[in-house]
Amino acid sequence: MVQDIISRFKSLYGSNPSVFRSPGRINIIGEHTDYNEGFVLPAAIDRELYFAAAHNSLNKFRFFAYDLNSTTEIPCDQIEIQKKETWSNYLLGIVAQLSKKGFKVSGLDVVVGGNIPIGAGLSSSAAMECGFIFAIDKLFSLGLSTIEMVKMAQMAEHEYAGVKCGIMDQFTVMQGKADRVIKLDCRSLDFSYEPLNLGDYRILLCNTEVKHNLASSEYNIRRLECEQGVKIVAGHFPEINSLRDVSMEQLESCRDQLPGKIYDRCSFVIEENSRLEQTCQALEKNDLKKAGKMIFGSHDGLKNKYEVSCRELDLLVDIAASTEGILGARMMGGGFGGCTINIIHKDATTYFKDRIIKEYYLKKDLPHSIFEVAIREGTNQIQ
Ligand code: GLA
């Protein structure tokens, strides 16, 4: 794959590129907690994008998306949001952030491509943003710190993709470490690398192969709903700044003033943070069963209280719940489509795959997309 991208670069632009790799991510548990200053437990994976990139002297950006066979060519000072080649907005969003900080990016040729399924909740967008800012930092010797790059990549998503995302995806893509999950405190950004000793269990993703188009609008609405909840609770407890600070008792004491949906959203976030804590403790004690139970609990909350699941995700989780050898399964990422994550015994994978194919993909006439993932290093330079 990477060789194909390098060859394409050479044949398109005729120079020798530097090469960077930027992975997708999974999240074990802790969904929709990042923008509420809570905790997440993600990891970078072996699904990745490759960037071949080199300077040009044309004062132009020449971008080529290998998998889409699509080109964008624009002068370096015209970085408006693109209506047609929307994939290039993730790159232009980075240039815009850099320019806000006073960094001028001049002519650059890029070929980008890889094997992160798009719209599958694996953060192909964060992989684009992070891979690109990492490449620019190296090619232009900007000397940015990792956390500066993470934050600019997050703002690129806010401003050029219109999703007011939290920091989990960009943080994980940049900071991932092989065989480790990241326990990240999204308020302080303190983090630790934790081993994930799954023994005979594997991480298997099932892609629904659907992405309902309310995903980004509903995402931004959830964020506002949480803020609304915080405002009401803070009216009684002025020390409160985010849902991270709110206890279940405090939430209950304000229940009369909280509209039903807002109460549900807030209680989900509080419970999800607690499930994450319990999962970490269970993993430490090698109690995989308990961790799996928390993961199923997370899906239940995302479906019924946070309302970001969909029929397809629920069906995949229901099949998982009735399959022996699966400890936990849930939707992953923003929701309304994308993948489920399943913690499954290695001996159960063939049977489960067959079931999913029969009971989901064939019934819905969708391409089959079930795959194991391994935990890998974050964004890096490979050549
Ligand atoms: C998307 C966002 C993240 C996070 C998840 C939900 O992936 O980009 O910041 O909020 O949804 O946990």
Establish whether residue 218 lines the binding site of ligand 1, counting it when its CB lies within 6 angstroms of any ligand atom.
Answer: no
Among 3.30.360.10, 3.40.50.620, 3.40.50.200, 3.30.70.890, name the CATH number for the domain at 201-372: 3.30.70.890
Structure confidence at residue 147 (pLDDT): 98
Tell me, what's the pLDDT at 215? 78
Closest Cα to atom 1 of ligand 1: 334
- Please confirm, yes or no, whether 169 is among the known catalytic residues: yes
Is residue 337 packed enough to be buried (19+ CB in 10 Å), middle (13-18) or exposed (0-12)? Answer: buried
b/e map 163-186, b = 16+ CB within 10 Å = bbbbbbbbbbbbbbbeebbbbbeb
Tell whether ligand 1 has an atom less than 6 A from the beta carbon of residue 165.
Answer: yes
DSSP output for 289-342:
HHHHHHHHHHHHHHHHTS----HHHHHHHHHHHTSTTEEEEEE-SS-SEEEEEE
User: Is the minimum distance from the CB of 120 to ligand 1 under 6 angstroms?
Assistant: no
Cα separation of 48 and 140, whole Å?
23
Tens digits of pLDDT across the chain (383 residues): 999 999 999 999 999 999 999 999 999 999 999 999 999 999 999 999 999 999 999 999 999 999 999 999 999 999 999 999 999 999 999 999 999 999 999 999 999 999 999 989 999 999 999 999 999 999 999 999 999 999 999 999 999 999 999 999 999 999 999 999 999 999 999 999 999 999 999 999 999 999 887 778 999 999 999 999 999 999 999 999 999 999 999 999 999 999 999 999 999 999 999 999 999 999 999 999 999 999 999 999 999 999 999 999 999 999 999 999 999 999 999 999 999 999 999 999 999 999 999 999 999 999 999 999 999 999 999 99
Residue type at 82 in one-letter notation = Q
Distance CA 266, CA 264 (A): 6
Query: By CB neighbour count within 10 A (0-12 exposed, 13-18 middle, 19+ buried), where does 139 fall?
Result: middle
Whose Cα sits closest to atom 9 in ligand 1? Answer: 166
Ligand 1 geometric centre to CA of 18 (Å): 30
Centroid of ligand 1 to alpha carbon of 35 (angstroms): 8
* Ligand 1 centroid from CA 52, angstroms: 27
Amino acid 164: pLDDT: 93
Residue span(s) of the chain under CATH 3.30.70.890 come to: 201-372
CATH architecture for segment(s) 2-196 = 2-Layer Sandwich (3.30)
Task: Give the whole-angstrom CA distance, residue 225 versus residue 228.
Answer: 5
Looking at residue 153, its pLDDT comes to 98
Which residues, other chains included, contact 133 with Cβ-Cβ below 8 Å and sequence gap of 6+? 94, 97, 98, 144, 149, 152, 153, 156
Does residue 272 have its Cβ closer than 6 Å to ligand 1? no
Name residue 21's beta-bridge partners: 50, 380
d(CA 117, CA 369): 9
166 lines ligand 1 (CB under 6 A): yes
> Dihedral of CA 215/359/344/115: which sign?
negative
The pLDDT of residue 216 is 85
Give the pLDDT score at 214.
78
At a CB cut-off of 8 Å and minimum separation 6, what does 260 contact?
A: none
Mean confidence (pLDDT) of the chain: 97
Atom of ligand 1 nearest to the CA of 31: 12
Closest ligand 1 atom to residue 163 Cα is 8
Structure-derived torsion over alpha carbons of residues 82, 85, 87, 89, reported in degrees to the nearest 10: -10
User: How far separated are the first and last CA of the chain, in Å rounded?
Assistant: 14
Give the position, in ligand 1's atom list, of the atom nearest the Cα of 35: 10
Contact at 8 Å (CB) between 158 and 118?
Answer: no
Can you name the residues that pair with 195 across neighbouring β-strands?
180
Nearest CA to ligand 1 atom 2: 165
Q: Beta partners for 88?
A: none
Give 167 Cα–ligand 1 centroid separation in angstroms.
Answer: 8
The protein residue with its alpha carbon nearest to ligand 1, atom 8, reads: 165
Q: What are the beta bridge partners of residue 72?
A: 63
List Cα–Cα distances, 320 to 316, 326, 330, in angstroms: 6, 6, 9
From 109, 137, 169, 264, the catalytic residue: 169
**Ligand 1 mutation pick, 26, 34, 182, 276, max ligand atoms within 8 A of CB:** 34
| CA 33 to ligand 1 centroid distance, Å | 8
Cβ atoms within 10 Å, residue 109: 22
User: What's the distance, CA 224 to chain centroid?
Assistant: 20
Distance between CA atoms of 21 and 176, rounded to whole angstroms?
12
Q: Where in the chain is the domain with CATH 3.30.230.10?
A: 2-196
